[in-house]
Structure 1
């Protein structure tokens, strides 16, 4: 698997020492073939993650709030090499969850991340520190990178917008995004296919990025997150990069 940066490992090691004391010299077992157990709520923010810290001679001071925070730059991703290890928040890294590492945003901040090259969008929760590579602003989990179409190329230009430190998703209605197209007719064809499959309120949604219009196809709608998750399992068979979004 493509591993784009090893810098999160430094913070993982530091926080492992802070959180488990003498255990920092012990190798942590990693299960690459099985996702970590699902979590029913957002883990609490660890006090140490809001302290000023220094990496490679550079000092960083985490922001007290993510209100109105936006940023544009290069995102990368990290995967199986770190799966099962501790993140800077003290949470175990699960490459199959939608999470991210950021140098200064408060832990548990929810971000909307948009790939400016293809128009794909996903939501992630900050639970780690990094990336500590020049000209990169965000390190994504494998699942988030997959949503955005970044796994193959390894990096992409993105825009991030902070939503706050939510512990739950937005209220519905919910949709499943099954594609993003630069040609409207292609989006209309996929939307029609979704409607024929029983997703009567499927729609196309245009967004403009740097003068280029992308036509997103949203299948739905769904009244609850549970309904959307069930639909996602079915739709992901034909559209592997599908993900849930909320109005």
Structure 2
């Protein structure tokens, strides 16, 4: 990753103040991991060589970036680096590309990104050569089907075969930080449409929770109950290939019949339930029921 990092440093030096001047407010964007970080963890200092922090925090609780409509100027001006001219897209909402993702970490932690924000290796952010800054994309690891939403606020990577450079936290969430690279699908997000859809899902979850008796039980999504155990197992396998949460089949005796329930969970939070419900619905897997169970 050293060459790519050097390229990023060159880009910041060459573009310098012009990048910061066009970045909107130029204010620091606080990491969405702020409430998840262990406050007793050692502080992270920039290093000469890039890599993971010496204190390896559990990043599973760090939430995705939240797509937010941008009311300022976008950074989408052409630039030249190492003899190559790049023509950024003016609109990244319909962007879709498969390719190799890499990540960057301690060498750039605390430094300004091309968008004039402060890079935080524990934030859900990314670098891209041609998407307008800022943009939001969903990144899916095609090797394990894990996915994250990140805010694109930097330029890179400048290896020709790599299409996106993720933060350390995003790479960890996708399960390839130790490996270094992974084949991914990158899809642009329309923040306005995303928020409308998310609000609708939020209402669905709220309505579902209104019908769930209050208890200390954990949240699950129930996908169905089948008299045929093979049908239940087929659905379990199909859903498990799509989500990182556990998917299980459990038999339950109802009068003279045995039904095989297919459940996802326990689900970590109501926000996670929203994402799962939306994804399962889009995959034509029905409308899961939100339940509490011990």
Shorter-chain TM-score bucket reads: 0.5 to 0.7
Structure 2 residues not aligned, in runs of 5+: 22-42, 46-54, 58-64, 204-215, 224-235, 246-263, 279-294
Tell me whether 1:130 sits opposite 2:156 in the alignment: yes
In 2: Cα distance, 1:65 partner to 1:91 partner:
20
In structure 2, the residue matched to 1:118 is: 144
Aligned residue in 2 for 1:86: 112
Q: 1:108 aligns with which of 118, 125, 134?
A: 134
Shift of 1:202: 6.3
Shift of 1:108: 2.2
2:85 counterpart of 1:59: yes
**Aligned with 1:206 (options 228, 238, 243):** 238
C-alpha distance 202-55 of structure 1, shift in aligned 2 (>3 A): farther
Contact 1:113 1:161 in 2 (8 A): yes
User: Structure 1: any 5+ residue segments left out of the alignment?
Assistant: 22-30, 175-195, 232-243
Which whole-Å CA distance do the structure 2 matches of 1:145 and 1:215 have between them? 17
- Provide the C-alpha distance between the structure 1 equivalents of 2:105 and 2:2, rounded to a whole number of angstroms: 6
- After superposing on structure 2, the runs of 4+ consecutive aligned residues of structure 1 that deviate more than 4 Å are 39-47, 165-169, 202-205
SS of 2:17's partner is helix
For 1:166 and 1:155, how far apart are their aligned partners in 2? Answer: 31
How far, CA to CA, are the matches of 1:160 and 1:19 in structure 2?
A: 24
Give the CA deviation at 1:3.
Answer: 6.4
TM-score in terms of structure 2 length: 0.54
Distance in 1, Cα, partners of 2:134 & 2:222? 31
Deviation at 1:11, TM superposition (A): 2.6
> What CA distance in whole angstroms lies between the structure 1 residues aligned with 2:20 and 2:90?
25
Equivalent pair of 1:201/1:221 in contact (CA under 8 Å): no
CA contact (8 A) 2:128 2:157 kept: yes
Asked if 1:32 corresponds to 2:29, the answer is no
Distance 1:11 1:167 in 2: 33
* Number of aligned positions between the proteins: 191
Question: What is the alpha-carbon distance in structure 2 between the residues aligned to residue 200 and residue 161 of structure 1?
Answer: 28
Cα distance in structure 1, aligned partners of 2:178 and 2:166: 13
Deviation for aligned residue 1:130: 0.8
Superposed displacement of residue 205, structure 1? 8.1
- Report the secondary structure of 1:64's partner residue: coil
Residues 3 and 77 in structure 1, CA contact (< 8 A), matched pair in contact too? no
More strand by share: 1
Distance between the aligned counterparts of 2:187 and 2:10, measured in 1? 26
Alignment of 1:1-247 (within 5 A): 5-6=4-5, 7-18=7-18, 32=44, 49-165=75-191, 170-171=198-199, 172-173=201-202, 198-201=218-221, 206=238, 213-214=241-242, 216-217=244-245, 219=265, 220=267, 222-223=269-270, 225=271, 247=278
The answer to whether the 8 A contact 1:16-1:86 is kept is no
Q: CA deviation at 1:150?
A: 1.4
Cα–Cα, structure 1 residues 44 and 67, in superposed 2: closer, same or farther, change >3 Å?
closer
Choose 1 or 2 for highest CA Rg: 2
Query: What is the RMSD computed on CA atoms of the aligned residues?
Result: 3.8
Displacement, 1:80?
1.0
Retained in 2: the 8 A contact 1:4–1:154?
no
Deviation at 1:109, TM superposition (A): 1.6
Q: Aligned to 2:219, what secondary structure does the other structure show?
A: coil
